[in-house]
Structure 1
Amino acid sequence: MNQQPHIEAPEAEPAPRFRPCPWTALETVQDVELWIDEHNRSLQEHIGPQETGYGVCFTLAEGGNIYMQTNGDAIMLDVDPDAQWVAPLIAAATQSPPPPGQSWVLPDDKLIQLVIGLSSLVASTTLVAGHRFGGRKR
């Protein structure tokens, strides 16, 4: 009897937990406040209490990603190397000097200015969980 070799089917990659959402530019403080409220509701709905490293990833239309996490008193940003071109805009919008690496820590009162400053450059946003904010080597 001739036996055919057993060929393993490639394992299908699991579907991403969160999918990108197309971005609509935000132009006013009220637009940003509504987005913040909507984003907070999404986080509460989709992120478990045991999860860490949650936030949002801004995918920039011209390339690169910015990962953002907020807590009670600070905004943490991880700016991918492909998105370093946007560092001068972040500095100008938030009136904060650029850090020596790719991780920024900004006061929480700069969130609205940051989002308005980035808004016209964003292609999409995606919720993230398990991101190591500030944990990568610089």
Structure 2
Amino acid sequence: MTPDANQNNDNKDSERPRFRPVPWTSLETPQDVELWIEEHNRTMQELVKPQETGVGVRFRLAPGGDVYMQTAADAVILDVEPDASWIAPLIMAATGAEQPAGSTWVLPDDKLVQLLLGLSTLVESSLIVTGHNFGKHGRRQF
């Protein structure tokens, strides 16, 4: 192989995204959600570098829009993109939360299971993200 061919392969590898969207399988019970959380946390611990910040999950909604989620020891932080703002009534119904003035929701950590059950039938895919700006509420994942 010529040096140029190696360089082209290296370029292709560096252009390839580290994380790829995963098709969503609907979660139907709290046990399904707990299993997804456990598997997802394990995957993130294996793949996310310790120095990375803005770590979370992007949920692409089938009807349109993206919701970014980050969890911490005591909170669930959602960044609801403008094209997904239609999801606000569902978030309020699933969690009992009040709608915030902006796009960032800060929910108690004990609302995670209800939130994922509520969103589950609307999610098309999930994607691990790093470097997302969760605003002043954002925290480290681990």
TM-score by length of 1: 0.87
1:34 paired with 2:18, answer: no
Hey, what's the Cα distance between the residues in 2 that align with 1:117 and 1:67? 15
Matched residue, 1:20: 21
**AA aligned opposite 1:69:** Q
Shift of 1:80: 0.3
Write out aligned runs for 1:53-132 (5 A). 53-132=54-133
Other structure's SS at 1:56 match? strand
Gaps of 5+ in 1: 1-10
Shift of 1:16: 1.6
**AA aligned opposite 1:134:** G
Shift of 1:134: 2.4
Matched residue, 2:4: none
Hey, what's the Cα distance between the residues in 2 that align with 1:74 and 1:93? 15
Other structure's SS at 1:77 match? strand
Structure (1/2) with the larger helix percentage: 2
Residues matched between the structures, number: 125
CA RMSD between the two structures: 1.4
Other structure's SS at 1:98 match? coil
Matched residue, 1:7: none
